[in-house]
Amino acid sequence: MAPPTALRRIAVLQLLLLSSISDGGDAENINFYDVRPPVGATPFPRSFKCFTCEHASDNYSCNRWAEDKWCPRDTDLCLTMHRFSPHGKSRSVTKRCATLEDCRAVGCRHRGSLGHTECVSCCEGLVCNVDVPTNRSNAVLALRHARGSSECPAHTPCVPSVLAVTLAALALW
């Protein structure tokens, strides 16, 4: 059985984590980069979520009002399509769950007849599609691990790294 001081330290760490999750209700200062993994059951192993929207006016609107739902079992990436004017003003943002086949369209294309540029990017990971692609250097397919790698599986935290962070936090206590 763990000593009472260790249990108190764990309880304090849990309270600190819970207090850092609350957003305080300030919609103008949402940090889309600080998305926490879901707590509780997932619908199937290696489940993940993406920001999802259809033809939002800009990236902020898409991320702010994205539907919070799990991606289907047959997908494993997040896709973002950004259409913008020659001056860089967003005209349309679409984000969704995607397959590797869907992501063969990554890159940027100038649609002169329509008067806009369209950039597509794909990424792997929990709500990894925070930003919109704006040029060929960020309109890419970004994978966390090489396919077939023996490292931690996609869409799940690595147990050794989670354990190391927990032990480091307790050691500093």
Contact 80, 120 (CB under 8 A): yes
Structure tokens at 9: 């330290």
Instruction: Sketch the domain layout of the chain as residue ranges.
Output: 49-142
pLDDT tens digit sequence for 14-27: 544 444 444 444 44
Compute the mean pLDDT over every residue in the chain, rounded to the nearest whole number.
76
pLDDT tens digit sequence for 106-123: 999 998 788 899 999 999
Q: Which CATH superfamily is domain 49-142 in?
A: CD59 (2.10.60.10)
Residue 129 carries which DSSP code?
-
Which residue shows structure tokens 């397959």? 99
Beta bridge partners of residue 108, listed in sequence order: 119
Q: Could you tell me the pTM of the whole model?
A: 0.64
